[in-house]
Structure 1
Amino acid sequence: MKSTTKIASIAFCIVLASGQFALARPDLRRMTCHEAQQMVKRNGSVVFTTGPYTFSRYVSDRRYCDREQATFPQLGPTRDNPKCLVGLECRQPLFSN
């Protein structure tokens, strides 16, 4: 019975570890500008790691924002361009129409 419990514990740890790895955000700094742009275009919305303790959400168009938000160009640091236009950012406009 001990070996069965041990095997089950090992299997659980492997599943847990692989699940956590799958949830890791893509690191914008390790991608080229084109790769990052294509990922946003393909997925519509991506949360990238942008620094050691920072992350940011990039969207392809306004459909991925709340109704009262607008889109603004959003730059990010990629492997080949420190100011790559990766996608758009959703935020509240300063003035309403």
Structure 2
Amino acid sequence: MNRLVLVLVLAALATAAAAQERVATRTLSCAALQARVARDGHVVLATSETAYETVHLDAGACRNDETAAPAFAPAADAPSCLTGWRCRQRNSDSGQR
């Protein structure tokens, strides 16, 4: 029984750690968004209630099958603020058969 409780507690902690606060981009200035990414290293930015993405401070944060692209988001004081880097899946289809 003690092992079951321990497993449940560890699973709850892992879930809480994995869930990250979404930062509403339109509520912060561009400088504040950039500072948040710089402070945390990566942030989940929400541009609306249903649109969000993870933005990284460093382009090297992407995995081997991903490539980094500049991440722009609307801020309270700018329609297009460079916030950091987003990871995109590389296109492995060369179009050749």
Task: Answer yes or no: same fold by TM over 0.5.
Answer: yes
Over aligned residues, Cα RMSD in angstroms? 2.2
TM-score after normalising by structure 2: 0.66
TM-score after normalising by structure 1: 0.66
Q: Which residue of 1 aligns with 2:30?
A: 33
Q: Deviations 1:3-61 (Å, cap 9, x if unpaired)?
A: xxxxxxxxxxxxxxxx9xxx642211100001101111111110011113211111111
Preserved contact between residue 44 and residue 64 of structure 1 (Cα < 8 Å): no
Aligned residues: 75
User: Which structure 1 residue ranges, 5 or more long, are not aligned?
Assistant: 1-18
- Superposed structure 1 runs of 4+ greater than 3 Å apart: none
Q: Which residue of 1 aligns with 2:42?
A: 45
Aligned mate of 1:78, from 67, 71, 75: 75
**Rg larger in structure:** 1
Q: CA deviation at 1:62?
A: 3.1
What amino acid is aligned across from residue 88 of structure 1 in structure 2?
Answer: W
Q: Which residue of 1 aligns with 2:13?
A: none
